[in-house]
Amino acid sequence: MSKPKRRHKKKLIITLLAIAAIGGFWYTIHDVKATNPDSKIEVMGADAASHKERLTQLAETDHVQLLQFAKDRFIAQQVNNYTWTMEKMEKINGKRGSYQTLNVKFTQKPFRVAIAVVKGASNLSGDRMLYVEGSYLDKDGRSQMIVRPTHGLFRLLADGSVSRLPDCAEVKKSSLRPITDAGFISAYQNLIDVYQAARQRGECVEKHGGFAKINGKSCIILDRHIPVQRKDYPAKLTKIYLDIETLLPLRIVGWDWTGEEKPNCDYIYNDIKLNAPLTASDFTPKANGIDKE
């Protein structure tokens, strides 16, 4: 074979290899679009098996990287409106509350949250809550939430509702987090923030907690152990259940430093409906059963 023909054949082989490589790369990443370019993870895998394998690897080695990827992917999907039902239990000031069932309507932009407590409503927290960023301002121009008192007599005395700042002392008596922390983006970020704070102090142990099912959905479990009790740590052991397919957190449950068998906080996300047909009319007092003068 002459030298020109050999060179032509070599170029052809290199070109074919390059095309094959590009094709393989595209097959790997085409399902994940518009992710954070700074993220170290481009993909979880080209198929279900490799996806689960990659999740398992990160569950064993780097929870922050996994949670950041999940958050970036959710943002890239541009889901603005969604609803869910939550089973919620919190231990506040040393007292473990009963489980509550909440129906939640949410939009990210503009930021709006409507909550109906359909089971286990506390007299302190009320049974209907509405927050619309930029509305129901106090004298200092801060957005307040509108709360319908649970007890009929209190509701009557309050003319149907009361206004409260999301992070006021009254609200903190009945909830560990303000209504302004609602939504999956905040959920991811709150988890990441605790990891990073504990890592900086050398106080975070990350383990793969195995697999489980939440309402029929397969989940991978992240176990976060923080042996040292501090004000900015919510729990000694936190178990985070991520839907293997969507990477949405379907349950976050924690145990404190008392050694009690029962958890000190538990949040279970059920019946999640992304891209729900919500409009501004769904976030009025009247639409949420709240009397507002």
> DSSP string spanning 164-225?
E-TTSHHHHTT-SS-GGG-SHHHHHHHHHHHHHHHHHTT--EEEEEEEEEETTEEEEEEEEE
Alpha-carbon dihedral angle through residues 223, 226, 229, 230, given to the nearest 10 degrees: -100
| Residues 56 and 48: beta-carbon distance below 8 Å | no
Q: Which pTM was predicted?
A: 0.83
- The structural domains of the chain, ordered by start, are 81-288 (2.50.20.10)
Q: What is the pLDDT along the chain (293 residues), one digit of tens a residue?
A: 555 555 554 454 444 444 333 333 222 322 333 333 333 334 455 578 888 999 999 999 999 999 999 999 999 999 999 999 999 999 999 999 999 999 999 999 999 999 999 999 987 779 999 999 999 999 999 999 999 998 877 777 778 899 999 999 989 988 999 999 999 999 999 999 999 999 999 999 999 999 999 999 999 999 999 999 999 999 999 999 999 999 999 999 999 999 999 999 999 999 999 999 999 999 999 999 998 75
